[in-house]
Amino acid sequence: MARKVFHAMYDDDDKLKEAAQLIVDKGIRVKEVFSPFPIHGIDPIIGVKRTRLAICAFMYALTGTSLALLGMWYFMISDWPMNIGGKPNQSLINNITSFLPVTFEFSVLCGAHGMSITYLLRNGTVPGMIADNPHPRSTNDRFIMEVTTDENSSMSADDISQLLSSTNPEELSEKEY
């Protein structure tokens, strides 16, 4: 059977939220929501899981910390110890006070950049990508809900479109693909 995708466009985030709530209650899975800014409270409705980026950040930061300490231990203590102003360099712990600032900075560096890069990759928002928001106004002042037939095989395309139009969207388009 022909697979259809419906785009219901609303002119207000709250309207979209109500609509989404309504059709989700009817057991329809909302595939995607496009909006010009984050709609607070939409995620649970359409079932977006909590992101784990924060944990990544922490991991990256830890990596940074250990790399920094390891590096400084190698440079200053192990590879070529020097008497610099009489400061001790017999062991890492002797000299740790001097190493704290760089350790901190390097952790931050790794944490921040690691997380950002992961973020961009997971989003697929990297240089050269082409946007696929169904309507240009969805980045300006319109809010679009995307529903597909193959995700909701339980219902027929017409039921879905009816149901959607019952949430009186500003505009309802349906495409075959």
Partner 1 sequence: MQKEAAIREPLILGDKSYSQITEDVMAPIVGSPTMWWKVLITISGIIAAWGVGNILYLLGVGIGTWGLNKTVGWAWDITNFVWWVGIGHAGTLISAVLLLFRQKWRMAINRSAEAMTIFAVMMAALFPGIHMGRIWQAYWVFPLPNQFGSLWVNFNSPLLWDVFAISTYFSVSLVFWYIGLIPDFATIRDKVSGGWRKKLYTALSFGWSGRAKHWTRFEEVSLVLAGIATPLVFSVHSIVSMDFATAIIPGWHTTIFPPYFVSGAVFSGFAMVLTLLLIMRKAMGLEAYIHTKHVEYMNIVIIVTGSIVGVAYITELFISWYSGVEYESYAFINRATGPYWWSYAIMMTCNVISPQLFWFKKLRTSLMFTFIMSLIINLGMWYERYVIIVTSLHRDYLPSSWSEFHSTFVDLGIFVGTLGIFMTLFLLFARFFPVLALNELKTILKSSGENFKKADH
Partner 2 sequence: MGVTKKYWTGLDELHGTEGYKESVQNEFTAETQAASEFLAEESLDETSTPRRDFLKFMGFSVTAATLAACEAPVIKSIPYINRPAEIVPGIANYYASTYYDGNDYGNILVKTREGRPIFIKPNKDFGEGGLNARINSSVISLYDEERLRGPQMGDAAKTWSQVDSAIAGELASASNIKILSSTIISPTAKKAVSEFAAKHNAELIQYDAVSYSGLKKANNGIIPKYDFSKARTIVSIAADFIGTWLTSNVFQTQYTKRRQPEGSWMSQHYQFETNMSLTGSNADYRALIKPSDEGKIAAAIYETLTGGTADTFEKAIQDNLDKAVAKLRENKDKGASLVVTGSNDSNVQKIVAEINKVLGNEGVTVDSSQGINFFQGDDTKVTNLVKEMNSGKVGALIVMGVNPAYSLANAEEFVSGLAKVKTSISLNKYADETGSKCKYMCPDNHFLESWNDFSPYEGRTDISQPAINKLWSTRPAQESLLKWADNDMSWYNYLRTNYNSSYSEATKHFDDSWNKAVMTGVWAGASMELSNNSGTESTSEGEETVSVNNISAALVAAKGAKTGDWEIKLYEKIGMGAGDHANNPFLQELPDPMTKVTWDNYITMAPSDMRELGIGDHIYLGQRTFAIKANVTVNGKTVNLPIMPQPGQASKTIGIAVGYGRGAGDELIGRAAYQTGEYGDYLNAGTDENAVRTPIGANVFGFVSSVAGDSVYSNIATLELTEEEYKIASTQMHSTVMGRDSIVKETVLAQFEKEKNKPKGMSTYNVMPGLVVHEDTNNDGVLDGRDKSHVRNFDLWEAHSVEQVGHRWGMSIDLGSCNGCSACVTACHIENNVPVVGKDEVHRHRDMHWMRIDRYYSSEIKSINDTETIEEKGLGVIGAYADMENPEDNPQTVHMPMMCQHCNHAPCETVCPVAATTHSNEGLNQMTYNRCIGTRYCANNCPYKVRRFNWFNYQAYKKFKHINVSQQEYGRMVLNPDVTVRSRGVMEKCSLCVQRIQSGKLEAKKASTPVPDGSIQTACAEACPANAITFGDLNDKKSVVTQLSADNRAYGALEEIGVQPNIYYQTIVRNTEA
Which residues would be at the binding site for partner 2 (CB under 8 A)? Answer: 82-88, 90, 94
Site membership for partner 1, residue 96 (CB under 8 A): no
Site membership for partner 1, residue 137 (CB under 8 A): yes
Site membership for partner 1, residue 125 (CB under 8 A): yes
What residue has token string 């022909």? 2
**Whole-number Å distance between alpha carbons of 97 and 79:** 19
**Whole-number Å distance between alpha carbons of 3 and 38:** 29
How many other CB atoms are there within 10 angstroms of residue 136's CB atom? 9
CB 146 within 8 Å of CB 31: yes
Cβ closer to partner 1: 99 or 157? 99
**Whole-number Å distance between alpha carbons of 70 and 60:** 15
CB 63 within 8 Å of CB 110: yes
Cβ closer to partner 2: 86 or 136? 86
Binding-site partner at residue 131 among partner 1, partner 2, none, CB < 5 to 8 Å by type: partner 1
**Whole-number Å distance between alpha carbons of 39 and 138:** 13
Site membership for partner 1, residue 76 (CB under 8 A): yes
Distance of CA 162 to the CA centre of its chain: 32
**Whole-number Å distance between alpha carbons of 7 and 145:** 6
Site membership for partner 1, residue 6 (CB under 8 A): no
Cβ closer to partner 1: 121 or 158? 121
Which of the ranges 41-49, 147-155, 156-164, 167-175 carries the binding residues for partner 1, by CB under 8 A? 41-49
CB of 156 to partner 1, least distance (A): 26
Binding site for partner 1 (CB under 8 A): 14, 32-43, 46, 48, 50-51, 53-54, 57, 61, 71-72, 75-76, 79-80, 84-85, 87, 95, 98-99, 101-102, 104-106, 108-109, 111-113, 115-116, 119-120, 122-133, 136-141
